[in-house]
C-alpha cells in the first residue's frame, strides 16, 4: 500500500522544490516554533472583520442585512451556530452546510439570485470573495465550542451515509479515494502530514481547524475549498460549490469531528 | 478603497502593547502573471502610529514585508480609553487610517 | 537619509515638494507626507544600506536580540521576525535580508518612550542571513541570524 502511494504520488506530479535536507527532529521542532509565532496576529482576522461588516450591512435588491439569517439556532443567532452545522432546515426542506445556508439567506433575505449568491466562492487578491469573509465571521463565533452535529432525522442520516460513500469511493486516473491518502496514521507527502480522517483525533483536527489563513496563498480558505482542492489532488472532477455531494461529505466529516472544540479560523502553511 | 486595519492596543502595567494587521497585497514587483508580464510593485511605504497625537512609531517599508502585514510594538504610557491611531500610505498613494481604544 | 532625500528631490513630483517644504520648515512634520528613502531600498550589501541610511559602517553587537524568530521558516512568504535592542538611545531598527533582491525590508524609527523592539513578518526568497541593524546615538550596530526557508509548500 505504502509503496503504491509513493509511486502514485510521484506520478500525480508533486514536482515541487526539494525540501532542505534537515535533521528531521530539530526541523520539526523549529517548524512548530514557526507555526507558533504566526498564531498571534492571524490575518484571518481581516476576513472575519470584513465578514461581520457584510453580515450587518444592507445589500442586494432588498437592501437587507443578514442579521435575520437563521443558521439553525434561530434568526440572528450566530454564536455557536457553526458547531452544529450541517443540519436539516425545515424551511428549505433539506440538509445544508454553512455555505449553502448563507446562499439561502442571501437569496431569501437580500433578494440575490442564486447564481449571484454562489458566485466567487473562493477569492483571489483582486477578486475578494464575500463567501470566504462571511464564513470567517460565522465560524469565528463558534471558537471554543465543541462540535455537535446531530444525525437526528432521516435526511441527516442520509447525508452522512452518502458522505461516507464518497469518502471511500475510488476512482480517477490513480484509482484514489479520500481514504487512500487519509485512511492511515503517519502518512505524509513531503513535509506535510496527512491526517488520518478515519481516526477520531485526525477527524477532529482535520475539520475543526478550518477555515484557515493559508500562508502559501495569502488568502483565507474555507473547508469547502479544502475539499475541492483534495478532489483536484485526487484527479476527480471539480466539487461543485454548495452541491449535495459537498454537503454530504461535509456532514460525514463534521459528524466525525464531534466533541472537538472548534478552533478556527486558524493559520496553516 | 483599502480594507480597514485590525488594531489591538492593550495596557499592561505602564506599557501599551499595540498589534496591527493591515490588509494589503505587498506585491514585490518581481513576480510575473500567467502571461509572463511583470506584476507591478504595490506595497505600503510608510506607517505611523500615534497616541494622543504623539508619534509612538514610524516606519518605512519595502516590498519584502509579507502580504497582509503584521506589526507589533510597545510604548510607555497610555491609559485605558485612550486612542491609538495607525496610518499607512502605499506607493500608489492609497492611504488608510484606523484607530483603536486602549483596553 | 541624505542620499534618500536627494533621491526624492530628483524624482520630482508632489512628494519632493512636500519634503522640500518640510525641510525648509514651512510645514510641520506631521503635515508633510512622510519621506521614503528610495535609495536605501535598492541596496545589495550591508555597507551600502548603512551608507544609504546615513551611517559609515556598522559594528557587530551582542546587545541586539532576535525574539520569537524561528531558525526555520516553513514558508518564505511569511517569516516572523522580532528584534529587540538593549543599546542605550536606540533611534531606529532596520531589517535586512542578505539574499533578497533588495536587502532592506524595513526601517522602524523608535521615538523616546517607545520600547526599542518590533515584531513583523517578512518575505524571504531563500535561506539567508537576516540582519538587525540598529542606529543608537548616531552610530550603527548589527546582529545577524541565519534563517532557513523550506519550500515544503507548493500552493495547494
Instruction: Please write the tens of the pLDDT for every residue from B30-82.
Output: 888 889 999 999 999 999 999 999 999 999 999 999 999 999 999 999 999 99
Q: Coil, strand or helix: which one is A34?
A: helix
* pLDDT tens by residue, C37-91: 999 999 999 999 999 999 999 999 999 999 999 999 989 999 999 999 999 999 9
Non-local CB neighbours of B72 within 8 Å, separated by 6+ positions: A40, A41, B17, B18, B19, B20, C118, C119, C120
Residues A30 and A73 in one domain: no
Q: Name the pairing type of β-strands B83-90 and C128-136.
A: unpaired
Asked if C123's CB is within 8 angstroms of B62's CB, the reply is no
B23 in any annotated domain: yes
How many angstroms separate the Cα of C144 from the Cα of each of B82, C63, C72, C124, C141?
37, 12, 15, 15, 11
B41 in any annotated domain: yes
Range of the domain at C27: 1-36
What is residue A239's predicted lDDT score, i.e. its pLDDT?
86
Residues A46 and A35 in one domain: no
Cis previous bond, A166, omega within 30:
no
What is residue C94's predicted lDDT score, i.e. its pLDDT?
98
Residues A127 and A22 in one domain: no
Q: Are C114 and B48 in contact (CB under 8 A)?
A: no
Return the CATH number at A193: 1.10.760.10
Which residues between 114 and 133 in chain A have a beta carbon less than 8 angstroms from any beta carbon of chain B?
125
| A234: chain C residues, CB-CB within 8 Å | none
Residues of chain A above pLDDT 90, percent: 67
Q: What average pLDDT does the structure give for chain A?
A: 88
Residues A149 and A185 in one domain: yes
Residues of chain C above pLDDT 70, percent: 74
Cis previous bond, A211, omega within 30:
yes
d(CA A138, CA A135): 5
Residues A36 and A49 in one domain: no
Compute the 3-state secondary structure of chain C and give helix, strand, coil in percent, each to the nearest 5.
Answer: 20, 35, 40
Q: What is the mean pLDDT of residues C2-9?
A: 40
Q: Is C22's pLDDT higher than 50?
A: no
Give the pLDDT band of residue A190 (cuts 50, 70, 90).
low
d(CA A220, CA A268): 10
Q: Is A8's pLDDT higher than 90?
A: no
Please name which of A43, C121, A232, C107 lies closest in space to residue B48, comparing C-alpha atoms.
C107
Q: Are A5 and A181 in contact (CB under 8 A)?
A: yes
Residues A33 and A63 in one domain: no
Check CB contact of B94 with chain C, cutoff 8 Å. no
- For residue A77, how many other CB atoms are within 10 A of its CB? 13
Residues A31 and A88 in one domain: no
Compute the 3-state secondary structure of chain B and give helix, strand, coil in percent, each to the nearest 5.
Answer: 0, 55, 45
Range of the domain at B96: 6-101
The tally of domains found in chain C comes to 2
Q: Is C156's pLDDT higher than 90?
A: no
Residues A123 and A14 in one domain: no
Range of the domain at A143: 41-268
Check CB contact of C102 with chain B, cutoff 8 Å. yes
d(CA B30, CA B41): 7
Residues C141 and C119 in one domain: yes
d(CA C147, CA C126): 9
Q: Is A19's pLDDT higher than 70?
A: no
Q: Name the pairing type of β-strands C58-60 and C139-149.
A: parallel
Q: What average pLDDT does the structure give for chain C?
A: 82
Q: Are C80 and B72 in contact (CB under 8 A)?
A: no
* pLDDT tens by residue, B13-22: 999 999 999 9
d(CA B9, CA C132): 25
Residues A92 and A61 in one domain: yes
What is residue A126's predicted lDDT score, i.e. its pLDDT?
78
Q: Are B70 and C123 in contact (CB under 8 A)?
A: no
DSSP letter string, A117-137:
HHS-SS-BTTB--HHHHHHHH
Q: Is C137's pLDDT higher than 80?
A: yes
Q: Which residue of C has its CA nearest to A226?
A: C156
| A30: chain C residues, CB-CB within 8 Å | 70-72
Cis previous bond, A86, omega within 30:
yes
Q: Are A222 and A131 in contact (CB under 8 A)?
A: yes
Determine which of C68, C72, C125, C146 to mutate to test the interface with A (most A C-beta atoms within 10 Å).
C72
C138 burial class (0-12, 13-18, 19+ CB within 10 angstroms)? exposed
Beta strands in A132-191 (DSSP E): 187-189
C156 in any annotated domain: no
Which of A40, A41, A46 has the CB atom closest to B3's CB atom?
Answer: A46
What is residue B69's predicted lDDT score, i.e. its pLDDT?
97
Residues C43 and C28 in one domain: no
Strand partners, B88: B47, B96
Residues C49 and C78 in one domain: yes
Give the pLDDT band of residue A193 (cuts 50, 70, 90).
confident
What is residue A27's predicted lDDT score, i.e. its pLDDT?
79
Q: Are B69 and B19 in contact (CB under 8 A)?
A: no
B61 in any annotated domain: yes
Check CB contact of B23 with chain C, cutoff 8 Å. no
Return the CATH number at B29: 2.60.40.10
C127 in any annotated domain: yes
What is residue A116's predicted lDDT score, i.e. its pLDDT?
93
Give the pLDDT band of residue A10 (cuts 50, 70, 90).
very low
Q: Is A20's pLDDT higher than 60?
A: no
Check CB contact of C153 with chain A, cutoff 8 Å. yes
Least confident of A135-144, B15-24, C29-38, C66-75: C29-38
Q: Which residue of A has its CA nearest to C70?
A: A34
The tally of domains found in chain B comes to 1
Q: What is the mean pLDDT of residues A31-48?
A: 92
Q: Tell me the Cα Rg of chain A.
A: 19
Residues C31 and C98 in one domain: no
Choice between A202 and B86, residue whose per-residue pLDDT is larger = B86
* pLDDT tens by residue, A86-116: 999 999 999 999 999 999 999 999 999 999 9
Residues C25 and C51 in one domain: no
Residues C46 and C66 in one domain: yes
The tally of domains found in chain A comes to 2
Residues A64 and A106 in one domain: yes
Residue B100: all three cell numbers together: 483603536
Q: Is C2's pLDDT higher than 80?
A: no
Q: Name the pairing type of β-strands C64-66 and C72-73.
A: unpaired
Q: Is A23's pLDDT higher than 70?
A: no
Residue A139: all three cell numbers together: 465560524
Residues of chain A above pLDDT 70, percent: 90
Residues C14 and C81 in one domain: no
Q: Are A256 and A203 in contact (CB under 8 A)?
A: yes
Choice between C154 and A29, residue whose per-residue pLDDT is larger = A29
Quote the ipTM score. Answer: 0.96
What is residue B22's predicted lDDT score, i.e. its pLDDT?
97
Q: Is C26's pLDDT higher than 50?
A: no
Give the pLDDT band of residue B1 (cuts 50, 70, 90).
low
B1 in any annotated domain: no
Amino acid at each position: 500500500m505504502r509503496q503504491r502511494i509513493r509511486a502514485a504520488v510521484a506520478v500525480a506530479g508533486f514536482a515541487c522544490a526539494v525540501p532542505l535536507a534537515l535533521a528531521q527532529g530539530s526541523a520539526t521542532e523549529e517548524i512548530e516554533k514557526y507555526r507558533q509565532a504566526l498564531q498571534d496576529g492571524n490575518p484571518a482576522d481581516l476576513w472575519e472583520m470584513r465578514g461581520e461588516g457584510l453580515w450587518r450591512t444592507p445589500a442586494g435588491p432588498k437592501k437587507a442585512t443578514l442579521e435575520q439569517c437563521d443558521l439553525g439556532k434561530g434568526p440572528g443567532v450566530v454564536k455557536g451556530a457553526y458547531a452544529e452545522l450541517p443540519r436539516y432546515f425545515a424551511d428549505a426542506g433539506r440538509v445544508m452546510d454553512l455555505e449553502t445556508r448563507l446562499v439561502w439567506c442571501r437569496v431569501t433575505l437580500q433578494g440575490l439570485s442564486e447564481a449571484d449568491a454562489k458566485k466567487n466562492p473562493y477569492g483571489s487578491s483582486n477578486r475578494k470573495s464575500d463567501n470566504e469573509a462571511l464564513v470567517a465571521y460565522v465560524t469565528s463565533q463558534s471558537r471554543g465550542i465543541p462540535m455537535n452535529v446531530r444525525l437526528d432525522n432521516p435526511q441527516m442520516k442520509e447525508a452522512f451515509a452518502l458522505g461516507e460513500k464518497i469518502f471511500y469511493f475510488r476512482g480517477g486516473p490513480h484509482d484514489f479515494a479520500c481514504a487512500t491518502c487519509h485512511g492511515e496514521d503517519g502518512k505524509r507527502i513531503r513535509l506535510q502530514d496527512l491526517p488520518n480522517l478515519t481516526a477520531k483525533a485526525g477527524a477532529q483536527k482535520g475539520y475543526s481547524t478550518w477555515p484557515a489563513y493559508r500562508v502559501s496563498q495569502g488568502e483565507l480558505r474555507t473547508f469547502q475549498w479544502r475539499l475541492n482542492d483534495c478532489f483536484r489532488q485526487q484527479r476527480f472532477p471539480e466539487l461543485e460549490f454548495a452541491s449535495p455531494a459537498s454537503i454530504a461529505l461535509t456532514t460525514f466529516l463534521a459528524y466525525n469531528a464531534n466533541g472537538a472544540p472548534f478552533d478556527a479560523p486558524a493559520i496553516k502553511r | 478603497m483599502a480594507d480597514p486595519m485590525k488594531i489591538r492596543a492593550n495596557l499592561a502595567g505602564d506599557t501599551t502593547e499595540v498589534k496591527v494587521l493591515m490588509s494589503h497585497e505587498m506585491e514585490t514587483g518581481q513576480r510575473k502573471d500567467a502571461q509572463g508580464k511583470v506584476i507591478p510593485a504595490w506595497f505600503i511605504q510608510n506607517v505611523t502610529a500615534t497616541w494622543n497625537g504623539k508619534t509612538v512609531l514610524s516606519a518605512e517599508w519595502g516590498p519584502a514585508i509579507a502580504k497582509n502585514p503584521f506589526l507589533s510594538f510597545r510604548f510607555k504610557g497610555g491609559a485605558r480609553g485612550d486612542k491609538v491611531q495607525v496610518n499607512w500610505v502605499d506607493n500608489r498613494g492609497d492611504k488608510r487610517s484606523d484607530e483603536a481604544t486602549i483596553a | 537619509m541624505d542620499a534618500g532625500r536627494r533621491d526624492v528631490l530628483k524624482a520630482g513630483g508632489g512628494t519632493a515638494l512636500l519634503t522640500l517644504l518640510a525641510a525648509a520648515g514651512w510645514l510641520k512634520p506631521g503635515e508633510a507626507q512622510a519621506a521614503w528613502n528610495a535609495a536605501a531600498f535598492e541596496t545589495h550589501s550591508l555597507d551600502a544600506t548603512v551608507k544609504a541610511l546615513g551611517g559609515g559602517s556598522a559594528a557587530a553587537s551582542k546587545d541586539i536580540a532576535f525574539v520569537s524568530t524561528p531558525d526555520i521558516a516553513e514558508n518564505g512568504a511569511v517569516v516572523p521576525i522580532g528584534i529587540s535592542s538593549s543599546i542605550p538611545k536606540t533611534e531606529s531598527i532596520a531589517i535586512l535580508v542578505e539574499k533578497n533582491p533588495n536587502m532592506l525590508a524595513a526601517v522602524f524609527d523608535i521615538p523616546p518612550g517607545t520600547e526599542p523592539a518590533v515584531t513583523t513578518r517578512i518575505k524571504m526568497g531563500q535561506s539567508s542571513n537576516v540582519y538587525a541593524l540598529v542606529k543608537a546615538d548616531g552610530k550603527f550596530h548589527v546582529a545577524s541570524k541565519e534563517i532557513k526557508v523550506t519550500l515544503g509548500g507548493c500552493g495547494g
